[in-house]
Structure formats: structure tokens, C-alpha cells
Chains A and B, each alone.
Chain A
Amino acid sequence: MASDLAKTDQANPASDPLAPIQEMVQSCIQCGTCSASCPNEFAMDHTPRHLWRMVLTGQKAEIFRSQTFAMCSTCYYCTLRCPRGLPLTEAMSALKQVAARENNPRYRQSTQFYKKFIHSVRRHGRVNEMEFMTLYFAAIKNPAVPLRFVPLGIKLMVKGKVSMSPPIRGKRPLESIFRRIEALEKRS
């Protein structure tokens, strides 16, 4: 099970990405209110309740084989209803952050979606929807995905809501903020 991981983590607890998330869900009583409240539970391989148990027992390998946290659409029903008042939606996001940081290939599609979005924001200060979707489609290398969005893309272009022309390269108003965060995150 998690014995190998547990050993590694014990040797170097600071490097355990699960530790802060374990703290968030420490007082989980396994009541299952989160699972019953989750609109995406039907599509998950493990229920949210089960996921928190896996987090608390340090089953990192199994957690990052599961698609459960990637299915969270941040509706905050679980956070609202949790009888222990735990920040469960934030804990889901924290798991997404670990997957993104480690470039875990199992979450490639959603991670690339978020990363290309942020990439576009870093370049222009605001997201350019056409640029971001183009980068995303290129990154996931699956032609079936962009094809699903062709009719919508055309509709949006006709309405003048998205533009095919690349955005004007200008100043990067968020560059100093991004650099500073990268430096801070490297240190921690």
C-alpha cells in the first residue's frame, strides 16, 4: 500500500506534498456528506469521502491514479455542508496544484487547460480566449478535442466575441508578480 511512500515521507517530511492537505482534512469524520453533495460524484472513480480517507492514510500513489479531484468543478457544496467545517474545495484544488506542479501525465488535459490559460494571462495581463484555446488544443495533441469546439468557435467569431487575429504584443503588466511568486515557491 503506502508503506514505501510513508517511509520516504518520514525521511523528508517537508517534501511531502500531501502533508498540508492532510492538515486541511484532519478532523474528517467520514460521514459522506461531501459525496452526497457532489454534483460530479457519479463520474468519479473514488467518492470524495473515500479520497479524504486516502489523503489521511497517505496513499499518494492511489490518489494520483484517481481522477476524483480532477472532477471537482468547485461548486463549494461540500465546503458549505461539511459538518466539520473543513475547506474541502480548497483541498481538492490543493491536489490539482500538486498534479500540475509534478506534471503528472494522468491529468494532462485539465492541467494543460489551466496552464495555457495562465500562460496567456502572463503574456497579456488578461486572457485572450482564442490564443488560450489554440495553445491548449496544440498541447493536448488530440485532434478530436478541438473538433468538438469548432461549431462553437465559429458561432463566437460570427458574433465578434473572439478574434482570430493574434493579440497585440505589449507590456506584460503581471510579469513582476509572476517572477516574484516563482521565486517564493522555489524557496518553499
Chain B
Amino acid sequence: MKYHYYPGCSLEGTALEYNRSTRALMGSVGAELLEIKDWTCCGASAADSTSHLLSLALPARNIAIAQKTDAGLDILVPCSACYLNLKKTTEKSRSNSETLVQLNSILAEDQLQISGPMNVRHLLDVLVNDMGPQTIRNHLTRTFSGLRIAPYYGCQCLRPYVVFDDPEVPRSMNPLIEAAGAVVHPWSMGGKCCGASQMNTKMDVGLTLVAGILKAAQGADAIVTVCPMCQMNLEAYQQKISRRHHEDLSMTILYLPQFLGLACGLSEQQVGLDLNLSVTDDFRKKIS
């Protein structure tokens, strides 16, 4: 297993532990990650809110560099927003030749071009379909049999491109969580929206959406996520939300590769557990 690796800006900043745990987990199962050379921002949700063309050109540059390096490898993306932007660009340049010509004219000055289809894959897709629960079981060094885990998918790895899971009732994480010996928390919030950048521009709306998710997760020991934006929204405002709702809604929020990494014998330090903003004492006790 070898992939182009597009970490994206968040994984160098607020989502350092997502980067660290993804690299550690993939490394421990023998997958090789080839970081896209001099990669640049995909535009996040900001480019598409200001210029449609920019929202395609920013991902296009990274896809073109990956293609130039090795056209045969899939591009692995852990961040759901980056994943969608890169995926959207490959889809639109495949389905619309005018778009492709326009993007290549923009890239030409940097001696880059998109010359054929490239496969963009979300980390969860790779964990489920390339690696699979059996690989987790083969690498298990401990079992999390006492834990109940709520899988949270968020939006953009599921929609609008339906690739590896049911976009209405996602369940691709279940076999991975069960492979680690834990129980899946039954809930219907897995594919619901966390509010995304609403938290920065319309905070009250964002807080309402996150409160609904945290409430539904009560009874679980942790929520696992596959997106830096979801992770931040779910972990960073728990005190504020608890005060508003007169109820302790604090909850451990982990990235999926952190959870799987711990099960596969990686240390807390190797998966960056000290970098998370909300790991409860109760959870630490249960995993120690």
C-alpha cells in the first residue's frame, strides 16, 4: 500500500494529532505515505464562498503535482474538507472538458497540468477498504472491550459524492471500532452537520448543532471523528455548551486513527493524545 499524502493546513496546526496518528497508524500496518511536494492549501470552504474558479484551481495545483510525481498512486486525504475539494476538482475536470482546459491554462505558468484522472481517497475509505478490520485485528495489542464508541462522520466525506458509505445511515466505521474490541454507540447523529465554519461566523447556530450531537452521544465513552473541523467543533466548546444547557456534556473526542492506533499498540504520545482538547479523566482511566 502506497499513497500520495495530502495533509492539508489543519493537520499542520490545530489538527496536529490527526496528522501524527494517521502517519503512525498507516506506518504500523506497512502503508507508505508520499507527501505531495510543496503542497498548498485546497481553499477549504473559503475559496468556494468567494470564487468558484479559485475553489477548483487551488486543489488542481496539488493534484497536478501528485500526478507529475506518480500518476499511478491514489491521493490519500484525512481532512474531509480537503478531500471534498480535491475530489470535486477531479470529478469536474473529468466531466467537463472546458473546466479542464481552463484549469490547465491557470496551471500552465507553473509548468503543471492535469493530464488524466487521479483517484482521491478519504482516509476512512482507505482504512475500511484497503486496510480493513482484519488488519486491525492482526495488529491488536490490546482490546477496548469496556468502551462504547460513537462514530461521527460529519458531512463532506459522505456527501455529495457517495463513494464508500451510505450518506444517510453511515456505518463504515462500525467494523473498525468492533475490531478494536469496543461497542458501537447506537445513534443517528453520525452523518449530521457540526455547523462547520458557522462556529466562527454564526456561533449560536454552531453551538446549537454541536449541543444536539453531544447530547445524543451521552452514554458513550468517546466520539471518534475523521475531520479536523468536526473534531474542533465537538471538542472546543463543551464547557460553554454545558453551561447553556445546565448539564455536563463533556465528552472525549478522538480522531479515528488515534483510537485504532492505541488499540494497535501505539503509545499515547505516538498518537498525540496530549494534543486533544477534551479527553476526560474517566476515559484516561478506562484506557490506562
Contact = CB atoms under 8 A, between A and B. Distances in A.
Partners in one complex: yes
Nearest to A112: B201
Contact of A127 (B41, B55, B102, B156): B41
B51 A177 contact: no
Contact of B236 (A70, A152, A178): A152
11 contacts: A39-B195, A74-B196, A76-B155, A79-B160, A100-B51, A115-B50, A118-B47, A129-B13, A155-B236, A174-B41, A177-B109
Contact of B205 (A40, A74, A125): A40
A121 B51 contact: no
Contact of A161 (B16, B43, B156): B16
B200 A113 contact: yes
A162 B41 CA distance: 17
Given A79-B159, A184-B102, A114 B46 contact: yes
Interface residues on B, range: 35 or more
B106 A161 contact: no
B53 A185 contact: yes
B1 interface: no
Interface string B113-125: 0000000000000
Interface centre among A80, A101, A148, A185 (most CB of B within 10 A): A80
A89 interface: yes
Nearest to B168: A80
B198 A114 contact: no
B46 A74 contact: no
B12 A126 contact: yes
B128 interface: no
Contact of A74 (B40, B45, B57, B274): B45
Interface in B163-194: 167-168, 192-193
Given A161-B275, A162-B13, A71 B236 contact: no
Interface of A: 39-40, 42-43, 70-71, 73-77, 79-80, 89, 93-94, 96-97, 100-101, 109-111, 113-115, 117-118, 121, 125-127, 129, 136, 148, 152, 155-156, 159-162, 173-174, 176-178, 180-181, 184-185
B243 interface: no
B49 A181 contact: no
B149 to A, nearest CB: 23
A109 B202 CA distance: 9
B159 A121 contact: no
A115 B52 CA distance: 13
Contacts of A127: 9, 13, 41, 44
Contact of A174 (B55, B58, B192, B197): B58
Contact of B155 (A75, A110, A159): A75
B31 interface: no
